[in-house]
Structure 1
Amino acid sequence: MIPIYTVDAFTNTPFKGNPAAVCILQEYPEHDQWLQQVAAETNLPETAFLVDLGNGHYRLRWFTPKKEVDLCGHATLACAQVLWETGVAYNFDKLRFQTKSGLLTAKRLDHAIELNFPVESPSPAVLPQSLADALDGIQPASVSRNRLDFIVEVESEAEVRELKPNFKLLKNIPARGVLVTSRSEREEFDFVARCFFSPVGIDEDPVTGSAYCGLAPYWKDRLGKSSFTAAQLSERGGIVKMQLAGDRVFLHGQAVIVVKGLLMRYN
């Protein structure tokens, strides 16, 4: 039997933020089919699978209900919370995760966890017609693209809030997803965003750590600063604080375990 947890990330309140499942394995199975089946069974935005490599170093993989992904912030935050709260990694104030996006770290702070992630710098792009149709014909102020997502800036926070994408059409865009963003109308936030990942099986993600690897450098150029507080305007909502430092972005957040259980292994 395998320990499995459901964790709400980028929040300190149960049933808010973004939920992820965390499975701690002795080793990865020979074939990935079982990992994908577990992710489909949990049916959460991400399921993370950890294997202990020793000395606070872990191999980490992330799966949506539909496929494996290269980078995920909230599930990494969830893993760190599980490892520290359950005492598995109580000797280590810094955890290292070997992933498809290289080495990521999580550092334990007094009232938060700091993730060290790679910057995913965007470049100007043309809005594909398929994406324009999926976004109900909005008129973007700017369109950019990095290796993961499209970034679509609109003129107002109200446009971000009120957007109703066509998720059926959105599934066909040539990217992991699309990040729709604007400057915030509130003093406590620098910018707002909503994140849609229909191509990988998540129509709207509640709070998306990896999205800010692209949004932080995007807004640095526009706001002339390197430290931000952003609000993700999903139904569950979330707040992400971040700091750019060269080719890295430091994301600060909290997480709370809401379910603990055992997974019967059938692979």
Structure 2
Amino acid sequence: LASAHVIFNHLSYDEKQITFASASGELRVTTANGLITLDFPSTPPSPAEIVPELTQGLGLKPKEVYKSRDYLALFKSEDDILSIEPDFNILGKLDSLGVIITAEGKNSDFVSRFFAPAAGINEDPVTGSAHTTLIPFWAERLNKNTLHAFQLSERKGELFCELSGDRVKISGYAVTFFKGEIVL
């Protein structure tokens, strides 16, 4: 999202679509009215056991657990999501890249946070890859394909999400907060 924001807004790029080459294949990004939309393959989770290390690492037992590339831990409320103070040493030893925690939102369809200490990222502020799992999960649970979400990291992020077949569209706004110049 940030890279696309820079290209669309600071590099005199006149097109409305960018295609990035990523480790998981081509990533299409479009823009309209300042909103940037990323198009990803959907990665729905499957039910999984609640492993003790997950509960220990989060400090609170989830209602349900699912797994795709990451663990997805479902909690009762947005307040639960905000109250969690993870033990990153324990979470970093799990057999997954990261841990997604989620619950229904008070002012949105769902809220989440994402931890990936095994990848050197204790908490990611706004995570596209986590939403490739969250969107199909919540679309099925809420019986709707268009969803509004907040990622409740310290920085926070608002996302507009859509499940479209085996793809997800994740849209949001980006803001330039720093510009500089390096002379070599």
TM-score by length of 2: 0.93
Aligned pair 1:145/2:64, yes or no? no
Q: CA deviation at 1:156?
A: 1.2
Q: Which residue of 2 aligns with 1:81?
A: 5
Amino acid paired to 1:106: V
Deviation at 1:111, TM superposition (A): 2.4
- 1:161 and 1:256 map into 2 onto residues whose CA distance is 24
2:39 counterpart SS class? strand
Q: Which structure is larger by alpha-carbon Rg, 1 or 2?
A: 1
CA distance in 1, matches of 2:121, 2:183: 23
The structure, 1 or 2, with the larger RCO (C-alpha pairs under 8 Å, 6+ apart) is: 1
How far is 1:206 from its partner?
A: 1.3
Deviations 1:111-139 (A, max 9, x none): 21111111111111112222222112x22
Matched, 1:171 2:171: no
Alpha-carbon distance in structure 1 between the residues aligned to 2:181 and 2:160: 31
Structure 1 position 113 matched with structure 2 position 36: yes
Q: What SS does structure 1 have at the residue aligned with 2:180?
A: strand
Letter in 1 for 2:6: V
One-letter amino acid of the counterpart of residue 49, structure 2: V
Task: Give the CA deviation at 1:87.
Answer: 2.5
Query: Is the partner of 1:259 in helix, strand or coil?
Result: coil
SS at match of 2:2: helix
2:50–2:64 contact (8 Å) kept in structure 1:
no
Moved over 6 A (4+): none
**Which of 214, 224, 246 is the equivalent residue of 2:165?**
246
Write out per-residue CA displacement over residues 144-180 of structure 1, whole angstroms, 9 at most, x where no aligned residue: 001x211000111111110111111111111111111
Letter in 2 for 1:200: A
Residue in structure 1 matched with residue 26 of structure 2 by the alignment: 103
The alignment status of 1:259 with 2:179, answered yes or no, reads yes
Structure-2 separation of matches of 1:165 and 1:95: 36
RMSD: 1.5
Give the number of equivalent residue pairs: 183
C-alpha distance after superposition, 1:63-89 (max 9, x if no partner) = xxxxxxxxxxxxxx111111122235x
Identity of aligned residues (%): 36
The yes-or-no answer on 1:132 pairing with 2:55 is yes
Cα deviation digits, residues 88-117 of structure 1 (max 9, x gap): 5x2321111111111111112012111111
1:262 alignment partner AA = I
Q: 1:129 to 1:248 in 2, by over 3 A?
A: same
Alpha carbons of structure 1 residues 174 and 262: separation in structure 2 relative to 1, 3 Å:
farther
The answer as to whether partners of 1:209 and 1:240 remain within 8 angstroms in 2 is: no
The residue type paired with residue 83 of structure 2 is E
The counterpart of 1:227, out of the listed 142, 146, 151, is 146
Gaps (5+ residues) in structure 1? 1-76
